[in-house]
Amino acid sequence: MNIFQRFYKSLYSPKDITKYRFLGIGKTILYVFLLMLLSTLPGLYHFSKMSMTALNEGKQIFMEELPPFKIENGRLTSNIQKPVILEKNGFNIVLDPVGKYSQKDIEKLGNSVALLKDEFVIVADRNTQNFPYSALQGMEIKNKDIDQFLTSMHGVLWIIIPIAFIILYLFTAAIGFIKVSIFAGIGVLIAGTLNRRLHYRQSWRIAAHVITLPTVFFLIMDTINTVVPGGLLINWIICLIFMYMSIHEIPKPKSS
Protein backbone atom coordinates (compact mmCIF):
# COMPACT_ATOMS: atom_id res chain seq x y z
CA MET A 1 0.00 0.00 0.00
CA ASN A 2 1.53 3.32 -1.07
CA ILE A 3 1.76 6.43 1.09
CA PHE A 4 -1.26 8.12 -0.53
CA GLN A 5 -3.52 5.13 0.16
CA ARG A 6 -2.32 5.10 3.76
CA PHE A 7 -3.01 8.80 4.03
CA TYR A 8 -6.56 8.39 2.71
CA LYS A 9 -7.43 5.39 4.89
CA SER A 10 -5.92 7.01 7.98
CA LEU A 11 -8.56 9.72 7.72
CA TYR A 12 -11.41 7.36 8.58
CA SER A 13 -10.37 3.74 9.17
CA PRO A 14 -8.95 2.66 12.55
CA LYS A 15 -9.05 -0.92 11.25
CA ASP A 16 -6.55 -0.08 8.50
CA ILE A 17 -4.43 2.02 10.85
CA THR A 18 -4.03 -1.08 13.02
CA LYS A 19 -2.40 -2.91 10.12
CA TYR A 20 0.26 -0.22 9.77
CA ARG A 21 1.90 -1.34 13.02
CA PHE A 22 3.94 -3.78 10.94
CA LEU A 23 5.28 -1.13 8.54
CA GLY A 24 8.98 -0.40 8.29
CA ILE A 25 10.15 2.40 10.55
CA GLY A 26 11.61 4.29 7.58
CA LYS A 27 8.25 4.44 5.80
CA THR A 28 6.58 5.59 9.01
CA ILE A 29 9.12 8.36 9.66
CA LEU A 30 8.76 9.54 6.05
CA TYR A 31 4.98 9.63 6.51
CA VAL A 32 5.30 11.88 9.57
CA PHE A 33 7.70 14.21 7.73
CA LEU A 34 5.27 14.53 4.81
CA LEU A 35 2.31 15.08 7.15
CA MET A 36 4.18 17.87 8.95
CA LEU A 37 5.11 19.38 5.57
CA LEU A 38 1.42 19.60 4.66
CA SER A 39 0.56 21.22 7.99
CA THR A 40 3.28 23.87 7.41
CA LEU A 41 2.02 25.02 3.99
CA PRO A 42 -0.84 27.27 5.23
CA GLY A 43 1.56 29.11 7.54
CA LEU A 44 4.00 29.63 4.68
CA TYR A 45 1.22 30.96 2.46
CA HIS A 46 -0.08 33.43 5.05
CA PHE A 47 3.46 34.57 5.95
CA SER A 48 4.33 35.17 2.28
CA LYS A 49 1.09 37.02 1.63
CA MET A 50 1.44 39.13 4.77
CA SER A 51 5.06 40.02 3.92
CA MET A 52 4.20 41.16 0.39
CA THR A 53 1.18 43.14 1.61
CA ALA A 54 3.19 44.79 4.38
CA LEU A 55 5.96 45.84 1.98
CA ASN A 56 3.59 47.17 -0.68
CA GLU A 57 1.31 49.03 1.73
CA GLY A 58 4.26 50.23 3.78
CA LYS A 59 5.74 52.05 0.79
CA GLN A 60 2.42 53.72 0.07
CA ILE A 61 1.85 54.71 3.70
CA PHE A 62 5.29 56.23 4.34
CA MET A 63 5.55 58.06 1.01
CA GLU A 64 1.97 59.11 0.31
CA GLU A 65 -0.24 58.98 3.40
CA LEU A 66 2.03 60.13 6.23
CA PRO A 67 3.34 63.70 6.33
CA PRO A 68 7.12 64.26 5.96
CA PHE A 69 9.06 63.49 9.14
CA LYS A 70 12.63 63.10 10.32
CA ILE A 71 14.33 61.14 13.10
CA GLU A 72 17.50 62.87 14.25
CA ASN A 73 19.41 63.16 17.55
CA GLY A 74 17.00 60.79 19.28
CA ARG A 75 13.89 62.78 18.35
CA LEU A 76 11.07 62.50 15.83
CA THR A 77 10.22 65.83 14.21
CA SER A 78 7.56 66.90 11.71
CA ASN A 79 5.57 69.98 10.73
CA ILE A 80 2.28 68.56 12.01
CA GLN A 81 0.76 69.98 15.20
CA LYS A 82 -1.12 66.85 16.30
CA PRO A 83 -0.66 63.04 15.95
CA VAL A 84 -1.74 61.23 12.79
CA ILE A 85 -3.43 57.82 13.13
CA LEU A 86 -4.15 55.61 10.11
CA GLU A 87 -5.99 52.29 10.25
CA LYS A 88 -4.89 49.61 7.76
CA ASN A 89 -6.21 46.04 7.76
CA GLY A 90 -6.72 45.93 11.52
CA PHE A 91 -3.43 47.72 12.25
CA ASN A 92 -3.02 51.29 13.48
CA ILE A 93 -0.22 53.43 12.07
CA VAL A 94 0.64 56.27 14.46
CA LEU A 95 2.89 59.28 13.82
CA ASP A 96 3.25 61.40 16.95
CA PRO A 97 6.09 63.98 16.97
CA VAL A 98 4.33 66.13 19.60
CA GLY A 99 4.57 63.55 22.43
CA LYS A 100 0.85 63.08 23.05
CA TYR A 101 0.99 59.27 23.11
CA SER A 102 3.04 56.99 25.33
CA GLN A 103 3.82 53.29 24.93
CA LYS A 104 0.89 52.42 27.22
CA ASP A 105 -1.46 54.49 25.07
CA ILE A 106 -0.34 52.58 21.97
CA GLU A 107 -0.91 49.26 23.74
CA LYS A 108 -4.51 50.31 24.39
CA LEU A 109 -5.01 50.83 20.65
CA GLY A 110 -4.27 47.14 19.97
CA ASN A 111 -2.19 46.01 16.98
CA SER A 112 -0.17 49.09 16.08
CA VAL A 113 3.00 50.45 14.56
CA ALA A 114 3.86 53.78 16.17
CA LEU A 115 6.52 56.41 15.54
CA LEU A 116 6.46 58.31 18.83
CA LYS A 117 8.48 61.34 19.84
CA ASP A 118 11.32 59.33 21.43
CA GLU A 119 10.81 55.73 20.33
CA PHE A 120 9.41 53.30 17.80
CA VAL A 121 6.74 50.93 19.18
CA ILE A 122 5.16 47.79 17.72
CA VAL A 123 2.17 46.08 19.33
CA ALA A 124 1.14 42.72 17.83
CA ASP A 125 -1.11 40.14 19.50
CA ARG A 126 -0.70 41.90 22.87
CA ASN A 127 3.09 41.71 22.63
CA THR A 128 4.94 45.04 22.69
CA GLN A 129 8.39 45.84 21.33
CA ASN A 130 9.97 49.28 21.53
CA PHE A 131 13.10 50.76 19.98
CA PRO A 132 14.44 54.08 21.31
CA TYR A 133 15.73 56.52 18.72
CA SER A 134 18.73 57.21 20.96
CA ALA A 135 20.22 53.98 19.59
CA LEU A 136 20.41 55.72 16.19
CA GLN A 137 22.82 58.45 17.30
CA GLY A 138 24.60 59.96 14.33
CA MET A 139 21.91 58.80 11.88
CA GLU A 140 19.16 60.74 10.15
CA ILE A 141 16.06 58.92 8.90
CA LYS A 142 13.32 60.37 6.69
CA ASN A 143 10.30 58.99 4.84
CA LYS A 144 12.38 58.33 1.73
CA ASP A 145 14.92 56.33 3.75
CA ILE A 146 12.20 53.98 4.98
CA ASP A 147 10.87 53.73 1.41
CA GLN A 148 14.35 52.74 0.19
CA PHE A 149 14.63 50.16 2.98
CA LEU A 150 11.27 48.60 2.04
CA THR A 151 12.32 48.55 -1.62
CA SER A 152 15.53 46.71 -0.72
CA MET A 153 13.50 44.20 1.30
CA HIS A 154 11.67 43.23 -1.90
CA GLY A 155 14.99 42.03 -3.29
CA VAL A 156 15.80 39.73 -0.37
CA LEU A 157 12.27 38.48 0.29
CA TRP A 158 12.91 35.39 -1.84
CA ILE A 159 15.70 34.53 0.61
CA ILE A 160 13.80 35.39 3.79
CA ILE A 161 10.71 33.33 2.93
CA PRO A 162 12.57 30.00 2.32
CA ILE A 163 14.60 30.49 5.51
CA ALA A 164 11.41 31.21 7.48
CA PHE A 165 9.79 28.14 5.92
CA ILE A 166 12.72 25.88 6.88
CA ILE A 167 12.66 27.14 10.46
CA LEU A 168 8.88 26.73 10.67
CA TYR A 169 9.02 23.25 9.13
CA LEU A 170 11.77 22.01 11.45
CA PHE A 171 9.89 23.33 14.47
CA THR A 172 6.60 21.77 13.27
CA ALA A 173 8.30 18.44 12.52
CA ALA A 174 9.92 18.35 15.97
CA ILE A 175 6.54 19.00 17.63
CA GLY A 176 4.98 16.31 15.41
CA PHE A 177 7.51 13.65 16.39
CA ILE A 178 7.16 14.54 20.08
CA LYS A 179 3.37 14.25 19.74
CA VAL A 180 3.63 10.84 18.05
CA SER A 181 6.03 9.61 20.74
CA ILE A 182 3.66 10.71 23.51
CA PHE A 183 0.67 8.98 21.91
CA ALA A 184 2.77 5.88 21.33
CA GLY A 185 3.30 5.67 25.09
CA ILE A 186 -0.42 6.27 25.70
CA GLY A 187 -1.15 3.53 23.16
CA VAL A 188 0.88 1.00 25.16
CA LEU A 189 -1.16 1.88 28.25
CA ILE A 190 -4.43 1.54 26.33
CA ALA A 191 -3.30 -1.83 24.96
CA GLY A 192 -2.68 -3.03 28.51
CA THR A 193 -6.20 -2.07 29.63
CA LEU A 194 -7.72 -3.77 26.57
CA ASN A 195 -5.61 -6.91 26.98
CA ARG A 196 -3.89 -6.40 23.62
CA ARG A 197 -0.29 -7.23 22.87
CA LEU A 198 1.41 -4.10 21.55
CA HIS A 199 5.06 -3.11 21.67
CA TYR A 200 6.06 0.56 21.87
CA ARG A 201 7.57 0.51 18.36
CA GLN A 202 4.27 -0.82 16.99
CA SER A 203 2.31 1.75 18.96
CA TRP A 204 4.58 4.46 17.50
CA ARG A 205 3.67 3.38 13.97
CA ILE A 206 -0.04 3.47 14.83
CA ALA A 207 0.26 6.90 16.46
CA ALA A 208 2.04 8.26 13.37
CA HIS A 209 -1.10 7.53 11.34
CA VAL A 210 -3.61 8.40 14.07
CA ILE A 211 -2.61 12.08 13.91
CA THR A 212 -3.64 12.28 10.23
CA LEU A 213 -7.27 13.34 10.71
CA PRO A 214 -6.69 16.21 13.19
CA THR A 215 -3.68 17.36 11.16
CA VAL A 216 -5.79 17.63 7.99
CA PHE A 217 -8.67 19.27 9.86
CA PHE A 218 -6.50 22.01 11.33
CA LEU A 219 -4.67 22.36 8.01
CA ILE A 220 -8.01 23.27 6.42
CA MET A 221 -8.85 25.66 9.27
CA ASP A 222 -5.45 27.35 8.94
CA THR A 223 -5.89 27.63 5.18
CA ILE A 224 -9.15 29.55 5.56
CA ASN A 225 -7.61 31.48 8.47
CA THR A 226 -10.19 30.28 11.02
CA VAL A 227 -9.37 29.93 14.72
CA VAL A 228 -10.87 26.83 16.38
CA PRO A 229 -11.72 27.46 20.08
CA GLY A 230 -10.04 24.84 22.23
CA GLY A 231 -8.11 23.59 19.20
CA LEU A 232 -5.38 21.81 21.16
CA LEU A 233 -7.91 19.94 23.31
CA ILE A 234 -9.96 18.92 20.25
CA ASN A 235 -6.78 17.76 18.50
CA TRP A 236 -5.76 15.50 21.38
CA ILE A 237 -9.27 14.12 21.92
CA ILE A 238 -9.51 13.06 18.27
CA CYS A 239 -6.09 11.41 18.49
CA LEU A 240 -7.05 9.57 21.69
CA ILE A 241 -10.32 8.32 20.20
CA PHE A 242 -8.62 7.07 17.03
CA MET A 243 -5.81 5.54 19.09
CA TYR A 244 -8.30 3.65 21.24
CA MET A 245 -10.34 2.48 18.25
CA SER A 246 -7.23 1.34 16.37
CA ILE A 247 -5.83 -0.64 19.29
CA HIS A 248 -9.26 -2.15 19.92
CA GLU A 249 -9.01 -3.68 16.41
CA ILE A 250 -5.93 -5.67 17.39
CA PRO A 251 -6.92 -9.32 18.00
CA LYS A 252 -6.69 -10.49 21.58
CA PRO A 253 -3.91 -13.00 22.26
CA LYS A 254 -5.14 -16.57 22.29
CA SER A 255 -5.33 -18.04 25.77
CA SER A 256 -3.18 -21.16 26.25
Residue pLDDT, tens place only, 124-166: 656 687 888 888 777 888 887 877 777 777 778 788 888 888 9
Cα distances (Å, whole numbers) of residue 32 to 8, 12, 235: 14, 17, 16
Q: What's residue 125's pLDDT?
A: 58
Amino acid 126: pLDDT: 64
Q: How far apart are CA 217 and CA 234, in angstroms?
A: 10
DSSP state letters, 178-245 = HHHHHHHHHHHHHHHHTT----HHHHHHHHHHHTHHHHHHHHHHHHTT---TTHHHHHHHHHHHHHHH
pLDDT at 9: 94
DSSP single-letter state for residue 63:
I
Q: Domain extents for the chain?
A: 3-46+158-248, 74-137
Rounded Cα distance, 184 and 190, in Å: 10
Q: Which residues of the chain have pLDDT under 50?
A: none
pLDDT at residue 131, rounded to an integer = 85
The three-class DSSP label of residue 152 is helix
